[in-house]
Amino acid sequence: MLTKRIIACLDVSGGRVVKGVQFVDLVDAGDPAELAARHAEAGADEIVLLDITATHEGRGTLLQTVKQTAKRLFVPFTVGGGVRTLDDATAVFDAGADKVSINSAALRNPDLIDEIGSRFGAQAVIVAIDARRTANTAGNAVDAEVFIQGGRKATGRKAIEWAREAEQRGAGEILLTSMDADGTRAGFDCELTATVSSAVQIPVIASGGAGNAQHFSEVFLRGKADAALAASIFHFGIVDARALKEEIARDGVPMRLPC
């Protein structure tokens, strides 16, 4: 049976993990390579490395980080943040990433989706959508609006329409972040996730709002998510991905639980 995926996200700046899961016995808790390996061992189904600085001078450092992290990681590995061109994507793939996540750059230049998809395959392209339904809309999930530049700039586009266009252009997956839920730890926006997930054929990864295992179960069962991403949940009483997945599995959600 196809299982729902739990994706661990590492926010990286200047080659260091700046927030996210902290294992107690790490030699270096800020080292992305070590943290990624630990997440994978603990049962995370995928690893996302998000470059949150994404400045020009930071790119070289990022590629080094990607290379180090990919070296001993044998689960799917996505890199996001600052991928603006096919060349950027190529450099990230050459460094060992399996997928790139593109956000603002795809909205500015939607052809980027086609370009990366036709060169590296649709499975290698994740289009990340930051959506908000409380501002400028009536609050309906179907009207949720897409924001770019880390949520600072409204685009006037509806999330479901942009998700459909991304799919048509050859995106392999959608990474949907609810800006309303993000940071609240009060649960994913299940309605928004279900709305977008039902609008496309490709898998949708839910992001934003994870606080406990129950929230994951809800977004899989009610929100029709194919995968869910979390960064900070592991701070709040749940030790690692394995413990989290065991709890979600008890709610009847298919999980990969390696022995």
Partner 1 sequence: MAAIAVVDYKAGNLTSVMKALEAVGANATVTDDPEVVRRTGMIVLPGVGHFSATKFLEERGLRKAIEERINAGVPFLGICVGLQWLFHGSTEDAASQGLGAFDSICDRFAEGKKIPHVGWNSLTVKDGSHLLRGVETGDFVYFTHSYRAPVIHDTVAITEYGEPFTAAAERGNVMGVQFHPEKSGAVGMKILRNFVEMGC
Q: Give the catalytic positions in this structure.
A: 11, 130
By the rule CB under 8 A, 252 interacts with partner 1: no
Question: Restricting to residues 177-196, which ones interact with partner 1 according to CB under 8 A?
Answer: none
Q: Is the Cβ of residue 40 or residue 179 nearer to partner 1 in the bound state?
A: 40
By the rule CB under 8 A, 88 interacts with partner 1: no
> Which of 3-11, 105-113, 215-223, 242-250 is the region at the interface with partner 1 (rule: CB under 8 A)?
3-11
* H-run or E-run covering 48: strand 46-51
Q: Is the Cβ of residue 93 or residue 234 nearer to partner 1 in the bound state?
A: 93
* Distance of closest approach, residue 253 Cβ to partner 1, in angstroms: 13
By the rule CB under 8 A, 242 interacts with partner 1: no
- The tokens for 241 are 């991905």
Q: Is the Cβ of residue 4 or residue 169 nearer to partner 1 in the bound state?
A: 4
> Which residue pairs from 210-213 have beta carbons closer than 8 angstroms and sit at least 24 positions apart in sequence?
210/185, 211/184, 211/185, 211/186, 211/187, 211/236, 212/236, 212/237, 212/238, 213/238, 213/244, 213/247, 213/248, 213/251
Burial class (CB in 10 A: 0-12, 13-18, 19+), 165: middle
- As beta bridge partners, residue 6 has 228
Out of 8, 12, 36, 40, which residue is the one contacting partner 1 (CB under 8 A)? 40
By the rule CB under 8 A, 124 interacts with partner 1: yes
By the rule CB under 8 A, 216 interacts with partner 1: no
Asked if 225 and 205 count as a contact pair (C-beta separation under 8 A), the reply is: yes
Asked if 49 and 10 count as a contact pair (C-beta separation under 8 A), the reply is: yes
Binding residues for partner 1, per CB under 8 A? 1-5, 40, 45, 70-72, 74-76, 93-96, 98, 120-124, 172-173, 201-203, 226-227, 256, 258
